[in-house]
Amino acid sequence: MRSILIRFVVPTLIAAGILAFFGVPYVERILAGWFRGDVDMRAQLVAHSMEGSLARFVERNDKSGLARYLAGITTDERLMAVVVCRADGTPYFQTDRTPEEIGCEALQRTGDRGSSLIKLEDGSVEVSSFVIGAADSKPLRALLVHDLSFIDRRQSSARNYVLALAGIAASVLALTFGFVFWLFLRRWVRVLVRDIRGRRFLDDAQSEADSRPILAQIRHALREAERTQRLEIDFHENWTPQALQQVVSEHLRSPEVFIVSNREPYIHNRSPAGPIVQVPASGMVTALEPIMRACSGTWIAHGSGTADRDVVDSHDRVRVPPDEPAYTLRRVWLTEEEEEGFYYGFSNEGIWPLCHLAYVRPAFREADWRQYESVNRKFAEVVAKESESKDPLILVQDYHFALLPRLLRERKPAATIALFWHIPWPNSETFGLCPWKTQILAHMLAADILGFHTRYHCQNFLATVDRFLECQIDHEHMTVTISGHVCRVVPYPISIEWPPRWLASLPDVKTTRDAIRSRYGIGSNVCIGLGVERWDFTKGIIERFQALEALLDKQRNFRERLTLLQVAAPTRSKLPAYQALQSQTLSEAQRINDRFGTGSWKPIVLIDHHQEPREVFELFRAADFCIVNSLHDGMNLVAKEFVAARDDQDGVLILSTFAGASRELPEALLVNPFDVGETAAAMRIAMQMSREERRERMKLMRRTVKENNVYRWAGRMLMDAAQMRQRQLLSKNVFEL
Ligand code: GDG
């Protein structure tokens, strides 16, 4: 109702006021003109009828007769007085009501036959004159004084009438507009509510266009706007932190931005020299850190470092990055039992193997599930407490927080919530193994946006929802409607920052390569194959070793000519599957080195500890080829980082077809990681590839990674979030009316 007042009634009243302000003086001027015209005409008539009689009285010098005659005439309320003047301008006679200010000198203003408006103290008079008697006989002149106060009276009545009329007309108009608009809106509200609830609001409304043309037009306009925005994103070539900042301030209008993840972007660990900061080996952190720098929001994560508690303030907050603070890290503390059940148990022994087809059996334990639920609730509480606005933008990360969207929605109904799933989503049959599948799916669908790396993962998710939940799925627009809430399922291929900031401090490729060779004892005639990952069974490290063994086995001429430099950053080392992988990796590396190694040459150099990001990029620049043969991987950022590191346009990428990155980088040598022979052949081809072909392939891949960098990934997701916010605002406005 308030908006009807603002949009219709107030403007109409303002328009009426303006009309009255300018219209009333105009009407007054017109009326005054008319009345004065009347007075002039009347004066001429009176003069005409008096002329003869006056001449006779003057001729006879009959002043008393003249007085009686004029007294009769001046009883007319509008003819106030008559003054008769001699030829020399002295008064001959004047009637009783002649105003003091009027005398024969007024003749100078009127001339012999004319009139003039004279303002007196208590009103205006019109004075007209005419000649009495023959023109040659020193004639007398008569002045007729007409009272004009009736014009003022009539003007004031006319003004009141005009004002009253304008007021009544404006009120009637405003009420009519308001009423008609209200009737329309009532109808729209019904239609919109139904459509929003039924998720068709922005869907194709072609069939309804005829019956609801206005609504169809709104939909059309919104769809057009969305398409333009999407084109803007898709064809915007130069995605930078500044462009991302612009999206945040212009499209999202700088709301509170939160990222929630298990892994924190900076870990403080104790050391003899005091707390030291570590950047964890995590693709998710690598991708999100630049967004937080751009948005300067709050990142909420599990405080897992040994010195994490030592550096936070009384609210468990610390500003990061430590050397150039740009955003807030809010740490959440977990007990040992919570970490055990939530992180190691349900997340990494349950969901991780469930979602990766690496043939490690998932373990689902009731106690782990309970901890998973309670830690998700704990994080929801922290977000609600940290957020001051009622509609923050919350970007939830990964499979550790599948329950968070609903838990957040219960606490912040107006929030815009996006959950990004960094790992693959399996087919419905596989996901069906999870005993709590329906709870997980229902909680996830409370998000506004669910993001996966590839369309294929989105389709797997929709098929899973279709199989296990009662809901409406629109496959064309990739939306799921459940209990009136619409959730969009969208592919956002994640990426890396461009250019990676670590490159700035590194020397040229040749110098870097020499440094690495001498650091790891690799001869100058030996090719460097590189593997960099968390020490995880999904990454295919053992299969890589087997492929190397097969190559050296079959092609003796490659012995002493190739060394695989393998970074394996320890991760989840408490878990039996990871312990088994670590010892298998160590023994396989040892076995292969023992089998083929000669003198100073070793086929495998295993770096079994965490590297600083700068060291990782040093290795990328030193390698002849980089091998990413994950058995299953949501995206894989190592592949993209290797490409970004090679500004010399050299180096070959071997990439698993089961990594999401293979969809974007077809110029890599694509391999089936389960096919040891094919992977071995790819290593051989990489070593034998001509410089020209390496350059061509690398150029194409660099262009792809540069254009599809992490800012575009974030920009697309944030733009979609902005659209969801616009829709929420629209429907909120509609409900409020
Ligand atoms: C998940 C998904 C998805 C590796 N070793 C060290 C180190 N790293 C860095 C790499 C890279 C990151 O860790 C690994 O990223 P990935 O994408 O390869 O893999 P996940 O950690 O499994 O990430 C994956 C990703 O989320 C993003 O959505 O692509 O599919 O599984 O940045 O350089 N970094 C440091 N020291 C190391 O020793 N500092």
Mutation test residue for ligand 1: of 421, 422, 642, the one with most atoms within 8 Å of CB: 422
What is the C-alpha separation between 424 and 131, in angstroms, rounded? 113
Coil, strand or helix: which one is 477?
coil
Which pLDDT score is estimated for 4? Answer: 57
Phi, psi for 118 (deg, rounded to 5):
-125, 130
CA of 439 to the centre of ligand 1 (A): 29
Q: Which of 395, 298, 471, 303 is nearest to 722 (CA)?
A: 395
Across 19-28, 158-167, 268-277, 282-291, the highest mean pLDDT is recorded for: 268-277
Choose the weakest-confidence range: 73-77, 620-624, 641-645.
73-77
Pick the more confident residue, 663 or 36: 663
Query: Torsion angle of alpha carbons 36, 42, 44, 49, nearest 10°?
Result: -160
Choose the weakest-confidence range: 11-20, 412-421, 470-479, 582-591.
11-20
Does 664 contact ligand 1 (Cβ within 6 A)?
A: no
Nearest CA to ligand 1 atom 22: 283
Percent of residues, the chain, with pLDDT higher than 90: 59
Instruction: Read off the pLDDT band of 431 (50, 70, 90).
Output: very high
Which pLDDT score is estimated for 50? Answer: 81
Does 286 contact ligand 1 (Cβ within 6 A)?
A: yes
Does 351 contact ligand 1 (Cβ within 6 A)?
A: no
Instruction: Read off the pLDDT band of 209 (50, 70, 90).
Output: very low
Q: In the predicted model, what is the mean pLDDT of the chain? A: 88
What is the C-alpha separation between 408 and 447, in angstroms, rounded? 9
Taken in order 290, 296, 299, 304, is the CA torsion positive or negative?
positive
CA angle 29, 33, 34 (to 5 degrees): 120
DSSP string for residues in 43-81: HHHHHHHHHHHHHHHHHTT-HHHHHHHHHHHTTSTTEEE
Taken in order 375, 377, 379, 385, is the CA torsion positive or negative?
negative
Asked, as a colleague might, if the bond just before 613 is cis with ω within 30 of 0, I would say no
316 Ramachandran zone, left/alpha/beta (phi>0; psi -120 to 50):
left
Contact 655, 682 (CB under 8 A): no
Pick the more confident residue, 23 or 537: 537
What is the C-alpha separation between 430 and 354, in angstroms, rounded? 7
Domains located in the chain, CATH noted: 30-155 (3.30.450.20), 501-708 (3.40.50.2000)
Write the CA distances from 147 to 39, 43, 95, 134, integer angstroms: 9, 11, 14, 29
Atom of ligand 1 nearest to the CA of 637: 17
Mean pLDDT value across residues 299-322: 97
Does 534 contact ligand 1 (Cβ within 6 A)?
A: yes
Instruction: Read off the pLDDT band of 58 (50, 70, 90).
Output: confident
What is the C-alpha separation between 280 and 462, in angstroms, rounded? 32
Which pLDDT score is estimated for 224? Answer: 66
Nearest CA to ligand 1 atom 10: 638
Query: Torsion angle of alpha carbons 61, 62, 64, 69, nearest 10°?
Result: -110
Does 532 contact ligand 1 (Cβ within 6 A)?
A: yes
Phi, psi for 37 (deg, rounded to 5):
-60, -45
**411: amino acid identity, one letter:** R
Mutation test residue for ligand 1: of 501, 535, 637, the one with most atoms within 8 Å of CB: 637
Which pLDDT score is estimated for 136? Answer: 58
* pLDDT, tens digit (0-9, with 9 covering 90-100), for 488-522: 999 999 999 999 989 999 999 999 999 999 999 99
Which pLDDT score is estimated for 201? Answer: 41
Atom of ligand 1 nearest to the CA of 634: 30
What is the C-alpha separation between 317 and 305, in angstroms, rounded? 14
Does residue 9 surpass a pLDDT of 70? no
Nearest CA to ligand 1 atom 9: 281
Instruction: Read off the pLDDT band of 204 (50, 70, 90).
Output: very low
Write the CA distances from 497 to 101, 157, 500, 611, 643, integer angstroms: 93, 77, 5, 19, 12
What is the C-alpha separation between 302 and 121, in angstroms, rounded? 90
CA of 144 to the centre of ligand 1 (A): 107
Mutation test residue for ligand 1: of 535, 537, 616, the one with most atoms within 8 Å of CB: 616
Does 129 contact ligand 1 (Cβ within 6 A)?
A: no
Atom of ligand 1 nearest to the CA of 660: 30
Buried b (16+ CB within 10 A) or exposed e, 513-528: beebbeeeebeeebbb
Tell me the β-bridge partners of 85.
91, 141
CA of 642 to the centre of ligand 1 (A): 12
* pLDDT, tens digit (0-9, with 9 covering 90-100), for 122-170: 778 888 888 887 655 667 888 888 888 777 777 777 778 778 887 787 7
Does 568 contact ligand 1 (Cβ within 6 A)?
A: no
Taken in order 615, 620, 622, 628, is the CA torsion positive or negative?
positive
Does 618 contact ligand 1 (Cβ within 6 A)?
A: no
Contact 721, 179 (CB under 8 A): no
Atom of ligand 1 nearest to the CA of 609: 38
CA of 535 to the centre of ligand 1 (A): 10
Does 279 contact ligand 1 (Cβ within 6 A)?
A: yes
Asked, as a colleague might, if the bond just before 576 is cis with ω within 30 of 0, I would say no
What is the C-alpha separation between 318 and 327, in angstroms, rounded? 9
Mean pLDDT value across residues 231-249: 72
Does 635 contact ligand 1 (Cβ within 6 A)?
A: yes
What is the C-alpha separation between 449 and 320, in angstroms, rounded? 27
Query: What is the pTM for the complete model shown?
Result: 0.72
Atom of ligand 1 nearest to the CA of 633: 30
CA of 371 to the centre of ligand 1 (A): 26
CA of 530 to the centre of ligand 1 (A): 15
Which pLDDT score is estimated for 238? Answer: 77
CA of 92 to the centre of ligand 1 (A): 119
Does residue 422 surpass a pLDDT of 70? yes
